[in-house]
């Protein structure tokens, strides 16, 4: 399993590769622009060229872009939904320009609308942007904790979205361990992990799983409260993560940590812990 972090783009893309190298990342995730703003500035040719060169030099792959916080593709509010679709469209273009193969998206909240309608809205949005943007970027649906009126916290809901996406070759899944646990899948236990993997494979298909977000949970099983925590210090625990990173059906995947950080020391600690759980093949 390759390990990495979500890396800040503060100060520009030129700083990303060096930050990733310092933290010992083999894979990374970034935002393509400020995640708390709707508008984004265009990349310069030099900026793109330097980013690609530096990432290749540091042998960091695969790289993932994460969609910003503001969009809500499931929203029944027409103005918010339209802005969200446009944001997805722009992010799909920007991800392609950077030659990054994957774009991770949050699925959003249904508000007062019907669940099925909300899932269909997400699928229609993806179909629309795929028609408008003919690049090879694969959109990864990230499962949620089911907080509030969030959708996408069960594998059947994610399957319902992907079933309605017309271009099956450009859709996949990012599985967040904290969200999975908070949604009620007990991946902290050996039996629960096996049952969760079997459920995922039966509902969606393991071939559609491209990325794991490795985060412990600060809230208990089935809480539906999204709180990431340091590896091994939450309710999933060290043994839970030991089983996850060494599982024969998961160990080939890239894994991004989105653990809390005040400074680099937090990231160094989490990287050291997770690497210490990897069992060497005999």
H or E element, residue 123: helix 115-132
Q: Exactly one of 176, 182, 216, 267 is catalytic; which is it?
A: 176
Instruction: Please count the residues of the chain.
Output: 282
Which residue out of 124, 258, 266, 269 is catalytically annotated? 258
Of the candidates 6, 81, 106, 170, the residue annotated as catalytic is 106
Half-sphere exposure of 137 (CA within 13 A, CB side): 33
Place of tokens 């996406």: 165
Tell me, yes or no, if 6 is annotated catalytic: no
- Residues 59 and 14: their CA atoms lie apart, in Å, by 15
**Is 61 part of the annotated catalytic residue set?**
no
Q: Rounded CA gap, 134 and 8, in Å?
A: 28
Q: Active site residue: 18, 22, 53, 69, which one?
A: 69
Based on the residue annotation, tell me whether 228 is a catalytic residue of this protein.
yes
- Please list the alpha-helical segments (H only) found in 221-282: 237-246, 264-276
Output b/e per residue, 202-225; b: 16+ Cβ within 10 A.
Answer: ebbeeebbbbbbbbbbbbebebbe
> Which one from 6, 19, 33, 66 is the annotated catalytic residue?
66
| Catalytic one of 121, 213, 243, 261 | 213
User: Could you confirm whether 54 is annotated as catalytic?
Assistant: no
Spot the catalytic one: 19, 94, 179, 261: 179
66 in active site: yes
Based on the residue annotation, tell me whether 226 is a catalytic residue of this protein: yes
Q: Which of 54, 150, 226, 267 is catalytic?
A: 226
> Does 106 participate in catalysis according to the annotation?
yes
Question: Active-site residue 132, yes or no?
Answer: no
By C-alpha distance, which of 166, 178, 162, 160 is closest to 129?
166
Angle value at C-alpha 251, between 249 and 256, nearest 5 degrees: 120
Residues tagged active-site: 36, 66, 69, 106, 142, 176, 179, 213, 226, 228, 258
């Amino acid at each position: 399993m390759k390990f990495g972090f979500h890396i800040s783009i503060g100060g520009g893309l030129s700083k990303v590769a060096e930050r990733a190298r310092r933290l010992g990342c083999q894979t990374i995730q970034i935002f393509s622009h400020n995640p708390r703003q709707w508008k984004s500035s265009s990349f310069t040719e030099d900026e793109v060229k330097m980013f690609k060169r530096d990432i290749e030099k540091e042998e960091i792959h695969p790289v993932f872009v994460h969609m910003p916080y503001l969009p809500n593709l499931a929203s029944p509010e027409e103005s918010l939904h339209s802005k969200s679709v446009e944001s997805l469209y722009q992010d799909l273009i920007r991800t392609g320009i950077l030659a990054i193969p994957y774009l991770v998206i949050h699925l959003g909240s249904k508000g007062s609308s019907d669940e099925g309608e909300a899932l269909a809205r997400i699928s229609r949005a993806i179909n629309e942007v795929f028609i408008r943007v003919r690049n090879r970027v694969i959109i990864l649906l990230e499962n949620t904790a089911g907080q509030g009126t969030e959708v996408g916290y069960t594998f059947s809901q994610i399957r319902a979205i992907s079933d309605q996406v017309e271009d099956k070759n450009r859709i996949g899944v990012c599985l967040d361990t904290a969200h999975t646990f908070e949604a009620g899948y007990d991946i902290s236990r050996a039996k629960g992990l096996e049952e969760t993997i079997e459920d995922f494979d039966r509902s969606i298909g393991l071939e559609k799983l491209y990325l794991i977000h490795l985060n412990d949970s600060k809230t208990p099983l089935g809480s539906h409260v999204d709180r990431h925590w340091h590896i091994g210090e939450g309710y999933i625990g060290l043994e839970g993560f030991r089983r996850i990173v060494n599982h024969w059906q998961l160990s080939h995947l890239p894994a991004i940590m989105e653990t809390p950080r005040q400074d680099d020391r937090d990231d160094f600690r989490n990287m050291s812990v997770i690497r210490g759980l990897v069992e060497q093949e005999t």
